[in-house]
Structures are given as C-alpha cells and as structure tokens.
Structure 1
Amino acid sequence: MEDRIMEMAEDLKLLADKTRLSIVALLKERELCVCDITDITGMSQPNASQHLRKLKMAGMVNESKRGQWVYYSLVTTDKPYLECLYGSLPSMKEKIDAVKGCCEVGEDV
C-alpha cells in the first residue's frame, strides 16, 4: 500500500508541471508527433522531448516510431486514479486542428 501511495504522489508531482499537464491535455485528444507538440506549445523540440521522456518513464505515455517520426499517445490504463484528472482537462482539439504537423506532409492521414 505504501508503494502505491508513493507512486501516486510521484505521478501527481509530475503532472503539477504546467507544461507536462498541457502535453497530457493534447494527448488526451489524439496521438501526436513530437513536432506537432512543439508547434502547438511553442516549446523547443529538446524541451518537449525531455518532458515526454519523463511522462514515458512514469508510464503515462506510449511512444511509437514510424520512419523518422516518433508519435506519443496517452496511456489510460494502469493508473485509474488519473482518469478523473484526464476527464477534467480542457479540450485542446481546436489547437490541434489549427496545426498542420510537419510529419503529415505527404502522408495520407
């Protein structure tokens, strides 16, 4: 039980960061390439990658590589205590729809 409380505390500390919480809100909408995340948030690619790495290490996001692009998606299992948080995040759909990702050029999406 103590380990579970420690894990929950660490996850909540990780999400207390505005940037990481914004990334989670984006990934709640759909899977995104790191270039989409940088375009939407205005952060640098190394900065976005660092935040995504922390989220991945905590088991909150999945990573999949397709060609030269790395896509990230939100993990919604294994941490049911985060589901209410995810459901409370504001929609980022308009911000996502406003950006034409660099990795989508020439692809049928």
Structure 2
Amino acid sequence: MNVKSTVEIEAAANVLKLLADKTRLTMMKLLQVNECCVCEFVEIFKISQPAISQHLRKLRDGGLVKETRRGQWIHYSINRESEHYELVQSLLDYLPSQKKRLEELEEQGLRISCD
C-alpha cells in the first residue's frame, strides 16, 4: 500500500479544475515560496484587482490558499493543512520557478507596498 495519502478522484478533479487556469496555477507557484497580497498579484499579472480577487476567492473556497490579515492588507499563502496539499505540491514541483516575477516586483519597489 502507498504510504502517501490518496485523494478521491472527484476531489482531485475539482483541484485540477481550479489549477487548470493559467493565472491561478501561476499564483499557486508564486505562493509555493512566498506570501503575496492582491496588490502584488495585480502588478505581476497586469489585470484588475477584482479579477485577482476572484481568482483568489476560488482558490480559497477550494481550500488551496489561506488568508492572513495584517492591518488593512490580506496576505495569501498555500494552505499546508489542505487535504490536497500533497497533490498540489507535487504538481507545482513540475513547474518552472516564478521567482523572477517576484524579483522584478522587488526591483520596481512594489514587493513591499503592502507592509
């Protein structure tokens, strides 16, 4: 028997549906190594704040990300307590690093805009 926990097919399909969107998948890859807030994602993806918030809401509702409030800002991170964490982590490990996007944000002075 496999030591790793197994995920029901339907649950796995729902997670994969969430991650089938390029923006959400990239968000998750960015969150694999860093917390981010909405304003950082707006700068990275060059799309509206409501669109970013909609993507994050779907990921949060699916249990893949969690929110941490710091003052008026909400920071997002991967939900390591999610029953789907291992599945998501395995998938993200196959994707190229998105560290360059965060470095570019930092170079523009936008990485710390929410603290």
Mapped to 2, the partners of 1:94 and 1:39 lie a distance apart of 13
Contact 1:29–1:92 (CA<8 Å) still a contact in 2?
A: no
Once the two structures are overlaid, the 10-residue window that deviates more, 32-41 or 46-55, is 32-41
Shift of 1:4: 2.1
Indicate yes or no: 2:108 matched with 1:97. Answer: no
In structure 2, the residue matched to 1:31 is 35
Other-structure match for 2:89: 83
1:20-58 CA-partner distances (Å, limit 9, x unpaired): 111111111200111111111111110000000000011
**Contact 1:61-1:74 within 8 A present in 2 as well:** yes
- Compute the TM-score of the two structures, normalised by the length of structure 1: 0.85
Sequence identity, in percent?
43
1:8 to 6, 9, 12: 12
* TM-score scaled by length of structure 2: 0.81
Unaligned regions of 5+ residues in structure 2, if any? 1-6
Structure with the bigger percentage of helix: 1
Aligned length: 102
1:63 aligned partner, one-letter code: E
Using the alignment, how far apart are the partners of 2:54 and 2:93 within structure 1? 25
Aligned partners of 1:47 and 1:41: how far apart in 2?
10
Instruction: Return the match for 1:55 from 56, 59, 72.
Output: 59
| Partner-residue secondary structure (3-state), 1:91 | coil
